[in-house]
Amino acid sequence: MARILDGTAIAAAIKAEVAEKVRALAAKGIRPGLAAVLVGNVAASEIYVRSKVQTCADLGLYSELITPSADITTEAMLDLVRALNDREEIDGILIQLPLPAQVDTKALLDAVDPAKDVDGFHPVNAGRLQAGRPALAPCTPAGVIEILKRSRIPIAGQNAVVVGRSDIVGKPAAMLLLHQNATVTICHSKTRDLGAVTREADILVAAIGRPGFITAEMVKPGATVIDVGINRITDRAEFERCFAGNAKREAAFLKRGSTIVGDVHPAAFEVAGAYTPVPGGVGPLTIAMLMANTVQVAQMRRELPRRGL
């Protein structure tokens, strides 16, 4: 039976470590601060950002939730970011994506001070990550590495395949795995004979954003499968494709009209040696690593020695 990699438990351990660091900083009169910018009224984003703000409170970090209206202009957003860059009590700046269509997302992310870029999206931090220099890594890929390390899954010398090439997950995950001495292949929707490539993976990271895309036939027996995807499905046919015969899941689907599935088909987990579930796998690590990054930038901005995360 495949081993379940419990992201919730790992995230709790990281949060406890962060809380300890926050207490140590408090003894020096320092309180790390995070500004979260949420534009408009997207329900899913509101829930996610408020969870981040609540976690800050739980761990002793200072936080601000800034909520511009959905019709805000790029220039007004740039002014907001510049103001946050200048505020000494704000160590980290988080801009919740996606942004409204009229806002130039790249210009906005580029405007964030790299020293306050807790999401690790700024080109400076991306370049440092690629060069193997100290950098703020995007939270989800950093969480993937923490899951592997804390679950004692070997990385060095392993064949790692990342399915997905986004700047937010796929590319940085591949780079982090490479820095841990894995042999890394990046795949995507245009990869020829994708299954032949994924079947060579000792570590398979699915981050392509398609429900149940990685099937059992695409997984090497005994491989570690890291499912980054979180997809809400409402279509009955799609539900049957992923969860046929699962009475408990069907009852919940009929009650709610939807269910969550990752980028990996549930049948693939029967082939794997270890895997992250959805939910309860990679997801909880994203917020935990955001907290860790916020403490890290607070230490870096004040040139304090860093330990651990």
Catalytic residue among 21, 91, 96, 220: 96
**In Å, how far are 62, 99, 189 from 78, measured between CA atoms?**
23, 13, 34
Q: Is 54 part of the annotated catalytic residue set?
A: no
Q: What is the token pair recorded at 154?
A: 């070997």
Selection from 158, 246, 242 nearest residue 205 by Cα = 158
Alpha carbon distance 158, 153 (integer Å): 10
Q: Is 130 part of the annotated catalytic residue set?
A: no
Q: Is 119 part of the annotated catalytic residue set?
A: yes
Alpha carbon distance 62, 53 (integer Å): 9
Alpha carbon distance 127, 23 (integer Å): 32
Is 37 within 8 Å of 94 (Cβ atoms)? yes
Q: How far is CA 299 from the centre of its chain?
A: 22
Q: Give the Cα-Cα-Cα angle 31, 32, 35 (nearest 5 degrees).
A: 125
Catalytic residue among 113, 117, 119, 263: 119
Alpha carbon distance 166, 172 (integer Å): 8
Q: Is the dihedral angle over the CA atoms 222, 224, 228, 230 positive or is it negative?
A: positive
Q: Kindly give, in sequence order, each residue whose CB lies less than 8 Å from that of residue 76, ignoring residues fewer than 6 positions away.
A: 68
Active-site residue list: 52, 96, 119
